[in-house]
Every structure is written in C-alpha cells, then in structure tokens.
Structure 1
C-alpha cells in the first residue's frame, strides 16, 4: 500500500519515526515505528489471566521471556470485541519495556516522505494520525502507551474477551493459562513475514527478519572497480552504507542509481549495506506451503503465488553475505 500523503498541520513530522507498521483492532487502526517491532505472533496464548486494568489482559511466553499483553482499545477506554484464534500479537520494545499489542490484523509497513507531517493530536499517547487510502491510522507513542496502561480502568472483563472461543479452544487456553497445570506455557512460535516491494517495475518479497528498517537515501556515490550490482555508497545518519541492486540477480533490468531513493537496510557481518527498492507495499504471512520451488541461487528462497503472479522471495542478508556481494566498497 503506497503512502497517501497528508496536508501538513501543526503536528511534528515523521522524520524520526522511520517506517511504520500498521495494524488493526476491533475498534481502531494504529501505527507504530517498525524499528520497535520485534516480531508478529500468531495464536493468542496467555500464561496468566490479566484483569483488564490498564489494558493488561495477560502474559505470553515468547521464547524464554514472559511478555505482558495489552489491548490498545482497553487502554483508550473502548470496548473491544471478543477474541478469536485469528487475532495476532505485535511484540514491541520501547525503552526498557517490552510488551505485546493485540491486533485483529496486521496491514502493512509504510515509509513516508521525510517532509510529510502527521495530523496533530491532543490525546496522549496518540502522536497524531496518518492517512492511508480512505482510512486513517493513529500513530502510537509506545512509551506513553505503556505509562497510560498503568492507570486506565478496564471497560470489559477479560472473561468476556475470551467468550468467542469454543469449548476445545477454551480448554486449551485454560490449560496454558493455569500455572498449576502448565507452569511454563509452550513458546509462541513467531509468524514469518515478508514485505512486498516493487523493484525495477516488478514485485519482490523480502524476508522481514533481516531488515532493520526501510530508509530514504540521498545521492549515491559510485565506487570504481566494484561489480555492476553495487550501485554505490550512501550516507545514512553519518554511517556509510553500500547499496546493492537485486534486479540482475532476479533476472530483471538493472536499476539506474540516479532513480534509487529507498532501500532496505540490513546489517551483514562484513559491513553495513542495503538493497534498493522502488516502493514498499504490504506485509504478508509466510508458511512452508506458500513457498514454491527450490532455491537456485544464494538468497532466493523460492517463489510466492500472489494472485497468479510468481513473486521471488529473497533473504537480503543471504544475498549480501554471498561471495559476489561481500566487497561492496571495492579494492
């Protein structure tokens, strides 16, 4: 989904936010800085029942950590609909606090032009609103949200939120939430995600895990003696980053370095690097059944079927770690 822009108002710009992950709840639509998102979890599994106070509805075991789960609607005094097994958890980290936010769906990652402003808000912890298509999303200040969650009275009981589960689902959730039966609930398996992006007029899917953020680039400086797929060097927040063109690897026409404005920043073992993209569209879940074909070159994991179109699935970290990509800065 492309960024739709805004008429600047008195709110702050988005320069310090970076790409935003947009997700929905039963009562609203929200956006958080993607750099604060650790992962998106699938099944809603709690190890202990919360009381709804401040939006806290329980804890989730994520790996070996116990992560508090917050319902954003409850944090704002709204009454969310009952949960289903299709709900997601957005695992976030802000400052020294880690928690998960309940979502009915995860929409997309968007990257805004640096001169775009967000509409001002007077209701903390909402920093402002962005517009995507015909809908808007409230941009959350995560640290302020965590502070607010410490003081808001619940509008609905936690039991009501789980009223949509059938007996089998309730029994399973009850077993995992009862410390006398299951002292440590099984870890919640993180959902694998890919972000769809356009590259040289084609659609590609990039694994989300290796991507630190999508960054807007200034002028690229060419580097002599480097391979054709190395577009040049960019200065990102005072750090020199090599920018690589994936298009030839995927059989597409090469990208013109003069047209490169956006890139996926990763952190390979050798040196900071990024892969050029034209536009970031949306995130999609991955499972083994959704990946067709076998890898035929480093970093290409297979193909996704998107409305009848074969979309290459790429691990940018593997691509940059391949022998032909390592020496980005040349001799």
Structure 2
C-alpha cells in the first residue's frame, strides 16, 4: 500500500494539502513588499535569507475569501524546480501538519471538475476524538503544479 506525504494547511477554515516534495520550508509571516502593477494574485516579494522570493496569495488564485488574521498566517516556500526555477512562496492561513496518507484514503475527482478547481483528490483523514469513534476530516489535495503552470511563473 502506497503512502503519500502531504503538508496540510488551512485557508478560510477549510483544510488543503500539497505534496511534501514541493515544499522547501515553512516560514512565519513577514512583511511583504508590494510590487507595482503586479497581478492581483502576487502579494509581493520578501527577502528570505538574501534571496528574493515571490509571494503568491493562494486565496486570490483559488477565488477564496481573504483572511485578516495575520498572526497565524504562514508562507510555504516551494522548491525552485516546482516553480520553474523561481523562488516562490504561498500565503496560507495556518499550517496544520505533515501527514502520511494511504492511497485508499484519497478519492479522485471528476476530471472536468478537478482541472478547473486545481484539485488532485480529496483526502479522508480520521481524527481521534475522546469518547467518540472519531470523525473524518476532508482535505482538498491541491495540484500545485497545475496552479503554477496556469500562472506562468517563469515570467515573474
């Protein structure tokens, strides 16, 4: 049985995941310098240990409501090869965990829907709750490669 490692994060109270091999690191929110005339999905740039990193607003890319509580926001910095060689980070409301998911706990999406929504599948994760049989969280597994390809990251 195959196991898949994913980073689980939150946007607007909904759980999302991306492949762990796409994430280089997770950093605390820091001041972002806006870039004049940048598309709305580009929040700006940061200086991350001497490297200029483009910061994408995932809420805007996915047409989700903006989150105002910056205390819990994080930046997931992606591997350069995932973003066409560019240094790119995405803003998320909070990072929950890194988990291993069994393939049998992932439901595929209808192709016509999944391409539009950038969804690879839906992860069903059982959580233990005291005194109960537990409940199942649904985690939307995002296709970050498809999202980045649609943004034409190389031109940032």
1: distance between equivalents of 2:139 and 2:61?
Answer: 14
Summarize the alignment of residues 185-264 of structure 1 with structure 2, pairs less than 5 Å apart. Answer: 191-255=3-67, 259=70, 261-264=73-76
User: Secondary structure in 1 aligned to 2:54?
Assistant: strand
The one-character-per-residue Cα deviations of 1:205-249 (angstroms, maximum 9, x if unpaired) are 121111111122421111222222211111100111111122244
User: What is aligned with 1:283?
Assistant: 98
Q: Which runs of 5+ in 1 are unaligned?
A: 1-41, 43-188
Q: Does 1:324 align with 2:151?
A: yes
Moved over 4 A (4+): none
Summarize the alignment of residues 95-106 of structure 1 with structure 2, pairs less than 5 Å apart. Answer: none
Identify the match of residue 108 of structure 2 among 285, 293, 296.
293
TM-score relative to the length of structure 1 = 0.37
The answer on whether the counterparts of 1:235 and 1:241 sit within 8 Å (CA) in structure 2 is: yes
Which one scores higher on RCO, CA 8 angstroms, separation ≥ 6?
2
The answer on whether the counterparts of 1:217 and 1:236 sit within 8 Å (CA) in structure 2 is: no
Q: Which runs of 5+ in 2 are unaligned?
A: 126-134
The one-character-per-residue Cα deviations of 1:161-204 (angstroms, maximum 9, x if unpaired) are xxxxxxxxxxxxxxxxxxxxxxxxxxxx7x42112112233221
Summarize the alignment of residues 101-180 of structure 1 with structure 2, pairs less than 5 Å apart. Answer: none
2: distance between equivalents of 1:309 and 1:246?
Answer: 21
The answer on whether the counterparts of 2:77 and 2:90 sit within 8 Å (CA) in structure 1 is: yes
Higher relative helix content: 2
User: Secondary structure in 2 aligned to 1:224?
Assistant: coil
Q: CA deviation at 1:309?
A: 4.1
The answer on whether the counterparts of 1:230 and 1:242 sit within 8 Å (CA) in structure 2 is: yes
2: distance between equivalents of 1:250 and 1:308?
Answer: 24
**Number of aligned positions between the proteins:** 139
The answer on whether the counterparts of 1:196 and 1:280 sit within 8 Å (CA) in structure 2 is: yes
Identify the match of residue 305 of structure 1 among 115, 119, 124.
124
Q: CA deviation at 1:318?
A: 3.9
The answer on whether the counterparts of 1:210 and 1:315 sit within 8 Å (CA) in structure 2 is: no
1: distance between equivalents of 2:28 and 2:14?
Answer: 20
